[in-house]
Structure 1
Amino acid sequence: MVNVRLGDIAPNFQTTVSENGQAKEIDFHEWLGGSWAILFSHPDDYTPVCTTELSAVALSYADFKSRGVKLIGLSANNADSHKGWIKDIDALSPNGPNLEFPIIADEDRKVAELYGMLDHLDATNVDKKGIPFTVRTVFIIDPEKKVRLTLAYPASTGRNFPEILRVIDSLQLGDKYKITTPANWKKGDDVIVHPSVQGEKVKELFGDDVKTVYPYLRFTADPSSKHTV
């Protein structure tokens, strides 16, 4: 099984997806283009935790789009199954937006195998043929197609998508400015001056707005709010 690690180029693949009620073929790297993206998997269609997750993502899809992030799901079913399941997902929040992003039809587990997403821990998490379902895995992929985050959840636990959005905010801010983000950081909070920034460069980048706790731990205001270059 492939072990996709941080900094790896996201493996490419060709697959069928269900999108807006239609089945279509995509090349993953072509679909990514030059955008940020989140690839996240589900064990099976018509399952309770998965249904709540897809509904939650549909409701927050605009937040991801506003950050230039594409979303693509994956489940171990065919496109026709996805098409029917999406109706249930949309009905769960009838006053909210419908699910707009594609879901990969990975009935043969080829993509799950490629990304190391098969569940080998829970012997009961298998289909009728005894083939393992996918675990709830998340990959954040940047515009260079590098994997920037991986998360794996047990089948019993739904994901916290505001946390995934928070990581996107941190990564995008850190790519633009010489900063890192502290524990429990959220957009707009103070950030940490990157350890590589030393001497006169500190004032050049952050002015006098730097609080030194230790020589290696220096806080400053969110530079995007100050339009600092």
Structure 2
Amino acid sequence: MTESASTEPRRGLPRINEPAPDFAAKTTHGPRRLADYRGRWLILFSHPADFTPVCTTEFIAFARNAERFRALGAELLGLSIDSNYAHIAWVRNIREKFGVEIPFPIIEDISMEVASAYGMIHPGASDTQAVRATFFIDPEGVLRAMVYYPMSNGRSIEEFLRLLEALQTADREKVATPEGWRPGDPVIVPPPQTVADADARMGQGFDTVDWYFSRRTLG
């Protein structure tokens, strides 16, 4: 290593099913820490910059669906590498120009500390802006899902609501969910782990296509 090379440890992306990176940050609703959300799900999402059109559409959609997230036991928390003053001005602008109140906090991250810890900075996209990243953190503070979008394309908030319900259902019922699963759809029964269990699977009352592929309807 040369004398000019950085000696700081390189941060990798956070990993699913491991504790989410801790943070303490200033927000538009006052100080927030990861520990503040213990006992509830947290949807932490970043956007490239305030006062940009794609981000504005996303924030409006998150705001309009905030109560649906809350009904599922989840809180919303935004972030961008902008000052708190910029966030406040943008929130006021959305209220004035679009008639939508932003009910959730937005993290000020000028230092990029939180964005770096969560792998939101992708040099191929920008060194000074966070990509559109979304993190699902469960009530125990464990990172359960990550979704990344390019700067040019907005996210689907409906998909995040669907994914949140799928995660909660999988946890509660000890099952998996198939592609496009919605509440009320059949779920996937975990595959047998032994030959004996596989031999017995066909007689267990599931909708079984083969020993490894069984579905059931939640009652």
Shared fold (TM-score, shorter chain, > 0.5): yes
Distance 1:119 1:60, change over 3 A: same
Q: Is 1:162 equivalent to 2:158 in the alignment?
A: yes
Distance 2:86 2:115 in 1: 18
User: Of 166, 172, 179, which residue of structure 1 is paired with 2:175?
Assistant: 179
Q: Which residue of 2 aligns with 1:70?
A: 75
Equivalent residue, structure 2, for 1:117: 120
Whether contact under 8 Å (1:18, 1:102) holds in the other structure is yes
Q: Does 1:26 align with 2:29?
A: no
1:88 shift after superposition: 2.5
Counting aligned pairs with the same residue, the percent is 36
Give a deviation string over 1:80-119, Cα, whole Å, max 9, x none: 111110122334542x5x2111100111111111111113
> CA distance change for structure 1 residues 186 and 14 in 2, over 3 Å: closer, same or farther?
same
Contact 2:80 2:108 in 1 (8 A): yes
**Number of the residue aligned with 1:128:** none
Letter in 2 for 1:5: R
Q: Which amino acid in 1 is paired with 2:66?
A: Y
Amino acid at match of 2:32: I
User: Residues 215 and 12 of structure 1: is their aligned pair in 2 closer, same or farther, counting only changes over 3 Å?
Assistant: same
CA distance in 1, matches of 2:183, 2:58: 23
Residues 1-229 of structure 1 aligned to structure 2 (within 5 Å): 1-19=11-29, 24-29=30-35, 31-91=36-96, 93-94=98-99, 98-122=101-125, 125=126, 131-196=127-192, 198=197, 208=205, 210-221=206-217, 223=218, 226=219
- The letter of the residue matching 1:8 is E
Write the distance in 1 (CA, Å) between the matches of 2:69 and 2:107: 19
Q: Structure 2: how far apart are the matches of 1:92 and 1:56?
A: 15
Distance 1:166 1:71 in 2: 15
Conservation of the 8 A alpha-carbon contact between 1:4 and 1:116: yes
CA distance in 2, matches of 1:71, 1:196: 37
Matched residue type, 1:10:
A
Listed as ranges, the gaps of 5+ residues in structure 1 are 126-130
Distance 1:169 1:144 in 2: 17
Question: Residues 196 and 74 (structure 1 numbering): CA distance in 2 closer, same or farther, change over 3 Å?
Answer: farther
Contact 2:132/2:148 (CA < 8 Å) preserved in 1? yes
Structure 2: gaps (5+ residues): 1-10
| Equivalent pairs, count | 205
Q: Matches of 2:45 and 2:156 in 1, distance apart?
A: 12
**Two-structure CA RMSD over aligned residues (Å):** 2.1
Structure 1 residue 144 displacement after superposition = 1.2
Contact 1:119–1:132, Cα closer than 8 Å, also in 2 = no
Which is strand-richer, 1 or 2?
1
